[in-house]
Amino acid sequence: MTKENSLCDIGFIGLGVMGKNLTLNLADNGYKIACFDLDQSKIDAIIQQDNEERGDQPARVVACRSYTELLNKLSTPRLIILSVPAGEPVDHVSRHLIDAGIGADDIVVDTGNSLWTDSLEREARYKGKFIFFSTAVSGGEVGARFGPSLMPSGDPYAWTRIEPVWKAVAAKVDPQTGKPIESFTPGKPVKEGEPCATYIGPVGAGHYVKMVHNGIEYADMQLICEAYQIMRDGLAMEPAEIAATFRAWNQGLLNSYLIEISAEVLEMQDAETGKALVDVILDRAGQKGTGLWTAVGALQVGSPAQTITQAVFARSISSLKKERVAASQILSGPERSSLNDADKQAAIEALHDALYCSKICAYAQGFQLMDMASKEQGWKLDFAGIAKIWRAGCIIRASFLQSITEAYEQNESLTNLLLAPYFAEQITKYQGNWRRAIANATLMGIPCGGFSSALNYYDSYRSETLPANLLQGQRDYFGAHTYERTDKPEGKKFHVEWSVPGRPQVAIKR
Ligand code: 6PG
């Protein structure tokens, strides 16, 4: 039997932008794919693209008209990948696959931006019907097509089956330099290098790690936006000049995909008005929810991820556009004075350092959150491994991730990234400018909640004492909530019968 007539290696359901590109990436890596989507036009589109890209090779993608046909076209035990919207659609497809006769040994991999607890529930729900496995994907449409970062988790047996597939399609990193090895040519996938796909742990762990990736992504983006606003409004710089500044920053410590695309966004002209496009884009941020989930997750485990949470709030306040416009007519801020060239240069340098130090804190918060969740869930996350697979393919890819990888490789039980000798030194070196940039923005009345929440995190984390002693006193005063003492063993609780002159004494029966 020729390969053309043989059964397919993988089934793929959901041919939206991410699904189509991931399917073509699998095809480039030699897998024959049976594909299905409820929307026939999406099936037609991928078949057409495969025809255009495969040259005189046999068809790599086979169209199916139903779930049953898809199951019949696959070798067993089957491997089926889903790229459908998170939430109910994953269960909708799962139910149809059960009705169509999927087997207990078949594997279904969810690659959507699913909530990690949904993945946990699904593994239990579909036990005995099929093996539910999850893989979180980062990298947007280009990543899906030419190499994403993949965060797989679930049944270890299923992983043995999926591992070679994910390692083939994932982004690759040069092991010597830690830098991405990229190819954006259809049919010519990168074969060499370290794949950005590693087994994260039991089901749920992969989507949790991706959720935190997105929380860090929110913080990273917000910090860049704050640097932009200070340059635009405080230093009166034009978008092109800010783009040039970002391009210069991209050559050094801040080298990252997000800095690179920010420069490109700032350079884009609006075809209609001829203005910089950024000046006509409405300043109201959207969000699909993963940043919010991270913030909620941080609050739930009690992890102080204030820069990530602040980035979500920054999107919320941006969305109150009408209220802000009205308030701008009523509420006043400080007068802004113009700067001479030397002061402007110094302010730009301070912003660079503020962005760098804040970024270190945002990542420290993300890794601290994963550490606390890992302990709570018993996942035993490998942080060097996670930093490694974020070095290429994903949205937060940056040279900086190599330094994080090294920090965790040097000390796998590192309590906080800030304590790694390299990062402790970096912050010591750059914190003067970080503080100056925040002070300048504050004096100019320009919001910089990302920068200042990060500095707050740093200053709180390095403080031997915080005012929580007074807070405990307050709690004990009004609610008899008790407190611990500095001179007595930890865990021993004390309470005082507060009797304050002038305060009405109310008898309370306990
Ligand atoms: C990725 C991104 C992606 C993200 C979208 C939208 O890693 O590829 O994180 O998964 O969900 O870019 O995010 P928001 O709409 O919430 O900004």
Helices (H), 34-139: 40-53, 67-72, 88-99, 116-125
Catalytic positions, please? 210, 217
Q: How confident is the model at residue 5 (pLDDT cuts 50, 70, 90)?
A: low
Split at pLDDT 50, 70, 90, the class of 123 is: very high
Give the separation between CA 253 and CA 162, rounded to whole angstroms: 36
Q: What's the pLDDT score for residue 3?
A: 43
Residue 2 has pLDDT above 70, yes or no: no
CA-closest candidate to residue 211, choices 278, 82, 301, 129: 301
CA 218 to chain centroid, in Å, comes to 7
Mutate which of 288, 294, 390 for ligand 1 pocket (most atoms within 8 A of beta carbon): 288
Task: Give the pLDDT confidence of 139-180 residue by residue, as tens digits.
Answer: 999 999 999 999 999 999 999 999 999 999 999 999 999 999
The percentage of residues in the chain with a pLDDT greater than 90, rounded to a whole number, is: 94
What pLDDT sits at residue 6?
83
Among candidate residues 60, 26, 61, 34, the one with its CA nearest the CA of residue 167: 26
Ligand 1 pocket, 112 CB below 6 A? Answer: no
Q: How far, in Å, is the centroid of ligand 1 from the Cα of 292? A: 12
Regarding the beta carbon of 111 and ligand 1, being less than 6 Å apart is answered: no
pLDDT in tens, 461-484: 999 999 999 999 999 999 999 999
Question: Which CATH number does 468-508 carry?
Answer: 1.20.5.320
pTM over 0.85: yes
Class for the domain spanning 3-203? alpha beta
* Tens digit of each residue's pLDDT (9 = 90 or more) over 184-193: 999 999 999 9
Q: Alpha carbon of 239 to those of 107, 230, 276, 438: distances in Å?
A: 49, 12, 7, 21
pLDDT of amino acid 503: 66
CB atoms closer than 10 angstroms to residue 135: 26
Q: How far is the CA of 236 from the centre of ligand 1 (A)?
A: 31
pLDDT computed for residue 496 by the predictor: 93
Chain-centre distance of CA 300, in angstroms?
Answer: 18
Q: What is the DSSP letter of 417?
A: G
User: Which of 135, 395, 396, when mutated, tests ligand 1's pocket best, judged by the most ligand atoms within 8 Å of its CB?
Assistant: 395
Least confident of 21-30, 299-308, 497-506: 497-506
pLDDT of residue 290: 96
Kindly give the pairing relationship between strand 172-173 and strand 149-153: unpaired
Distance CA 367, CA 364 (A): 5
Question: Is a pLDDT exceeding 60 seen at residue 221?
Answer: yes
Q: What is the pLDDT of residues 381-391, one digit of tens each?
A: 999 999 999 99
Does residue 139 have its Cβ closer than 6 Å to ligand 1? yes
Residue from 18, 113, 151, 386 to probe ligand 1 pocket by mutation (most atoms less than 8 Å from CB): 113
Give the span between the Cα atoms of 111 and 153, in whole angstroms.
Answer: 11
Task: Assess whether the C-beta atom of 114 lies below 6 angstroms from ligand 1.
Answer: no
**CATH class (in words) of the domain with range 207-461:** mainly alpha
Name which of 278, 141, 235 is nearest 446 in CA terms: 235
Q: How many CB atoms lie within 10 A of CB 22?
A: 26
DSSP reduced 3-state for 199? coil
pLDDT reported for residue 501: 72
Per-residue confidence at 508, pLDDT binned at 50, 70, 90? low
Which backbone phi and psi does 171 adopt, to 5 degrees?
-60, 155
**Is the distance from the beta carbon of residue 142 to the nearest atom of ligand 1 less than 6 Å?**
no
Domain ranges of the chain: 3-203, 207-461, 468-508
Residues 6+ away with beta carbon under 8 Å from 208: 116, 297, 370, 373, 377, 379
246-284 confidence digits (pLDDT tens) = 999 999 999 999 999 999 999 999 999 999 999 999 999
Cα 359 to chain centroid distance, Å, stands at 13
